[in-house]
Structure 1
Amino acid sequence: MAERNDISDLLTFIGREGDWRERLQEVVAEHLMPALEEFEIDHDGLIDLLGEQWSGVLWGCGFEDFLSCRYEDGNIVDLYLKRRGWKETALNRDYFAALRDTPVSLYEVSDVQPGTSMALRDLLTDADPVTVREKSASRTMKQWDRIAVRVVAQRDHHVISGALLPFRTETVEFLFEGLRDALKLKKRDALRLSREQLLGCAPIFTAAWLFTELDRVLSPAEIQLSNSDGDDVQFHDLRFPLASGVTQKAVAERLDRVKVFEPEGPKFWNWLAVCKGKGGKAGGGIMLDTQMDGATVLGTLELKGKALLVNVNSAARAVRVEALVTEACGDLLKRPLTAIRTMEQMRSQHHDDGAQDGADAIPPEIARQLMQEHMDRHYRETLDAPIPALGGKSPRAAVRTSAGRKKVVEWLKYLENGSARQEGGPIAGYDFGWMWEELGLQDLRK
């Protein structure tokens, strides 16, 4: 909440008025109780799970909704301004009156100026985008974040209210389902709400956030990683010792004859899928694979010292590559020794390696440049690759239809937002602008 508005006297006034105090408690309960009852926790449990900060924000969602409620004997803001308005500054009086009449909505963040302002586009109405003055929230918001908040007009500018909830993708979906159910809308109906409808649906915003956050905290989903074959990711390192008297050159000549082993230097090969551009089979988890010239890289092979080292990311691929290498090299190689590493072990090894002060560590500026170049190549190939989020179509193919263009825009925003949130990482500042232009969507990047 902006620093200029002081609600302490208003809160004191409500606390002294029995009926109004009870009404406030009822409205706050309407926001919180459905989720608390579903997960069988009380207010103390809510604090333990989400922290004092979010407990306060959730209470604020109910409080701001209460300010807009109108009862037979009136509205609390009207009553307060009538009895105590003379004690407030003109700025506070205007703010309370505007907050009373302003509904909560879901906004998409863009054009963030940290510590100064950010542009917000209402996703539930046809209102024009608005720039709000905001110091604290604009320091943490990223391009394409989505937030539930009230945008309040204040004289010659706009500000946001104090109760701000960040919405993840799954929270947005939960909210949209809740709004459609409440308003009895069909799935194909456009989700465009009037001011009165938004005022009446305020508890749904809080409930959507609370349901998804409590579910995430109480039942953290394990990230399921699979490769494009649909195999669970499990890294296999095969070490084929060279037979006595065998040279690296002899082995390299045999490997060069294997059609699916693409040389990348005299001692290194990429094992490529036979069918280029093949769509991934990964389900609801994350697909982990690398593309090269439109073909999936199934593994890598490298001659090092007196051994051939082969790396793949699943047990099934380990069996297949062993058969290919054995058939190609015959008695030039001995039977392989295989080391298996899980994703968790890989993370731990990466952390331990990063903690060491290696003299040959890559300078940050070089690492960033290498990552930028890698991402350029990766996304250049991705534009022509089938994407599950686009119904299995490539981005270039999907933009040919109106519905496809909308999906591609959402996909690009998802990529850009995820990159911006990698603070301090080499991909945090990656510029996706060229992809919008390449796909002819630059006018929709707003």
Structure 2
Amino acid sequence: GSGKKYKRCCLGAEAAARPVRARVHDFEATFFDDVMSFGLEIFGREEFVKVAEELKHAGELFMTWMAYVHQVEGRTIAERYAAEVRLSVRERAFFRAAAEAWMSVWEVVDVEPGRSLTLVDLLSGEERQVIEGSASRSLRKRDALMGRVLELDGECVLHGMHPRSLPPLAAAEVVARVRKRLRRKKEVPVDRLRGSKVAHLLLMEWEEGCEELDMRAKIPPRLTNTEGHELVMVTDRFEYEPAAHDWLLGRLERIEHLHVERSSSSSAEITFHMLGNPKIASWDNTIIGQARLSEGLLKLDTNSVERADRLVARILEVAGDIVQQGPRSFSDPMAEPNLAAVRRAGPGGGAPTDGPPPPELLAAIADHKARHYATWPDHPLPPFGGATPREHVKTKEGRRAVELLLKDMEHMEQSDPATAYDMDLIRRELGLIE
């Protein structure tokens, strides 16, 4: 309760982990119904209905909240029960532990699936390792949750948790609003977080954060290619005399940065490139279009109107006297036929495969990420006003902003642990950790 930072390890040997967790929760279950019945008699049904309406999105948190957080005339149901009912020594120790627990926003900093979560309180700075067999299978590193951590005999468990978790950026917004309301830029004392009013503030801000996240999810994303053009599948068609096939190929080869692959005497495929890439510095070149020539038809596919216009102009410039331009068609890149084509192609263009990806694919992904993130610290970023992360970490506020962005990137990387990039490599590069 002093607010001092430290890590409480709540796990013994693996064989003991599950029984310890079960004992804590099972012990509470032996008297919890009596506590709630006592509260119903003291507070009345109307009070329960009122709180249930306030917590209609809070799921199972309602029961813990009603017993240990909600106050009427300055006391919770649990406090009244403990004062009026004869308790065993262990029951009294449990109620003291429940009174010491506090509601806060906890960030997951480590996960042992099926066993434990290591959590850091984003308001007080306290750290706890909790025995948790269920949530540890679904939560991932840098998830944030709102709930209570109860400690009994040096062992910690989650004791009431909101059913919704938030990603780092959304959780940071909630924490910032709570700090503003509490007028605390630094760590919030644990004693203050134990208050019922602060718990209500946290609940209100957390559910607002969930609503904001849901609203953002309803806004269709603006998809762009790496040149920043709006992503749309564009197909241009040109007709030509089949007898002029070789002549046309010779003209098209005047266009810079293309690769021609002849599949037969009357058909060929062309890949158009540009040097480098405006977003990914490690790329030597970027594919900007693909064309197929067969039986008097040249079909050009690009992923933006700008790229299509650029390549059409070059084709007409070198071969306008050979080809006759036809109609242009468009399709949504997220439309089911396009997505189905990607799924059919699978990794590497072959048939889709079941099971874990092959080692060579994992190695290729790891190599691509390593090259991409190697240049990330020196790439200008809009969230930093066009400054690079390396420039931005020179100030205290900048360091916080870069660390938050790294947490968000780390959270996204954890969606596929097999290919997740270690963001600590970037943190060391930027001097955020040793």
What TM-score results when the alignment is normalised by the length of structure 2?
0.74
Which one-letter code corresponds to 1:145 in the other structure? Answer: D
Tell me which residue corresponds to 1:271.
Answer: 274
**Counterpart of 1:439?**
430
**Which residues in structure 2 correspond to 1:183-198 (within 5 Å)?**
183=182, 185=183, 190-198=185-193
Q: 1:250: which partner in 2?
A: 250
Deviation at 1:161, TM superposition (A): 1.2
Would the alpha carbon gap of residues 402 and 78 (structure 1) be closer, same or farther in structure 2, given more than 3 Å must change? closer
Aligned residue identity for 1:253 = E
Residues of 2 paired with 1:63 and 1:403: CA distance? 40
1:20 aligned residue (14, 34, 43): 43
The code of the aligned residue for 1:19 comes to: I
Q: Secondary structure, in 3 states, of the residue corresponding to 2:379?
A: coil
C-alpha distance in 2, partners of 1:295/1:386?
19
Sequence identity, in percent? 21
Change (3 A) 1:386 1:65: same
Deviation at 1:207, TM superposition (A): 2.0
CA–CA separation in structure 1 for the residues paired with 2:344 and 2:283: 35
1:279-290 map, 5 Å: none
Call closer, same or farther: CA 1:61–1:122 in 2, change over 3 Å. same
Q: How does 1:103-252 map to 2 (within 5 A)?
A: 103-127=102-126, 129-164=127-162, 165-169=164-168, 171-176=170-175, 178-180=177-179, 182-183=181-182, 185=183, 190-198=185-193, 199=195, 200-214=197-211, 220-227=218-225, 231-240=229-238, 244-247=243-246, 250-252=250-252
Computed over aligned residues only, the root mean square deviation of the Cα atoms, in angstroms, reads 3.8
- 1:319 maps to 309
Contact 2:145 2:161 in 1 (8 A): no
**Secondary structure, aligned partner of 1:207:** helix
Amino acid at match of 1:342: D
- The within-5 A match list for 1:385-404 is 385-404=379-398
- For the 8 Å contact 1:226–1:233, the answer to whether it is kept is yes
Structure 1 gap segments, 5+ residues each: 33-42, 47-53, 257-261, 278-289
Relative distance call for 1:356 and 1:372 in structure 2 (3 A) is closer
Tell me if structure 2 keeps the 8 A contact 1:246–1:332: no
Using the alignment, how far apart are the partners of 2:375 and 2:95 within structure 1? 53
1:100 maps to what in 2?
99
Show the counterpart of 2:31: 9
- TM-score for the superposition, normalised by structure 1: 0.72
CA distance, structure 2, for counterparts of residue 357 and residue 177 of structure 1: 43
Give the distance between the partners of 1:322 and 1:343, measured in 2 at CA.
20
CA contact (8 A) 2:333 2:339 kept: no
Cα displacement (A) at 1:417:
0.7
1:409 matched to 2:410: no
Tell me how far 1:158 sits from its aligned partner. Answer: 2.3
What is the distance in 1 between the residues matched to 2:259 and 2:371? 16
Larger Rg: 2
2 CA distance for matches of 1:357 and 1:174? 38
**Matched residue, 1:380:** 374
Q: Which residue type is aligned with residue 59 of structure 2?
A: S
The alignment partner of 2:114 has SS state of coil
Aligned counterpart, 1:65: 69
8 A contact 2:144–2:165 mirrored in 1: yes
CA distance in 1, matches of 2:259, 2:96: 68
